[in-house]
């Protein structure tokens, strides 16, 4: 998280001490340096890399870091698209739920109407039976 005051912190990259300066926290700057340091150490283990001139080594490291960046960016894009698809599915499900609730309420109203009519019919049957008994 960026702050309003500048942070200076010493970091180690490739066995050398560097002072990083930025508006990010010291923890963040150390994390960035650690990432770069791990890349340098990873590549320094490779004979083919160590045999390259320093300028070529720098370019190879930059290419590898750019590769990591683009892969991470692609993964973020895929996750964002997946999230949008899930949001659309959720939106559709909410509308289906609302539609089902409306149908349920309508069915409940119809049941109440039918029960009322049935009660009226039952009363009418009792009334008619009573009249028949009187005759």
124 assigned to some structural domain: no
pLDDT given at position 2? 59
Task: Look at residue 16 and give its three-state secondary structure.
Answer: strand
pLDDT given at position 4? 73
- Residue 86 tokens, joined: 């899930």
pLDDT given at position 66? 98
47 assigned to some structural domain: yes
Domain count, the chain: 1
Per-residue CA distances from 11 to 58, 61, 96 (Å): 18, 18, 56
pLDDT given at position 133? 87
130 assigned to some structural domain: no
Half-sphere exposure of 91 (CA within 13 A, CB side): 6
Regions of the chain with pLDDT less than 70: 1-3
64 assigned to some structural domain: yes
Contact between 24 and 1 (Cβ < 8 Å): yes
Q: pTM for this structure?
A: 0.63
109 assigned to some structural domain: no
134 assigned to some structural domain: no
For residue 72, what is the enclosing H or E element? Answer: helix 54-134
For residues 18-56, one letter each, b for 16 or more C-beta atoms within 10 angstroms of the residue's C-beta and e for the rest, the string is eebeeebeeebbbeebeeebebbeebeeeeeeeeeeeee
pLDDT given at position 1? 60
Which tens digits make up the pLDDT trace of 9-34? Answer: 999 999 999 999 999 999 999 999 99
114 assigned to some structural domain: no
Contact between 28 and 9 (Cβ < 8 Å): no
120 assigned to some structural domain: no
């Amino acid at each position: 998280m960026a702050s309003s005051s500048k942070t200076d912190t010493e970091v180690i990259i490739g066995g050398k001490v560097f002072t990083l300066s930025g508006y990010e926290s010291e923890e963040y700057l150390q994390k960035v340096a650690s990432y770069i340091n791990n890349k340098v150490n990873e590549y320094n283990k490779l004979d083919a890399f160590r045999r390259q001139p320093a300028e070529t080594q720098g370019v190879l490291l930059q290419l590898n870091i750019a590769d990591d960046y683009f892969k991470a960016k692609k993964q973020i894009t895929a996750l964002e698209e997946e999230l949008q698809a899930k949001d659309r599915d959720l939106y559709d499900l909410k509308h289906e739920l609302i539609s089902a609730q409306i149908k349920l309420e309508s069915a409940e109203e119809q049941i109440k109407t039918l029960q009322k009519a049935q009660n009226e019919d039952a009363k009418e049957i009792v009334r008619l039976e009573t009249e028949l008994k009187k005759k």
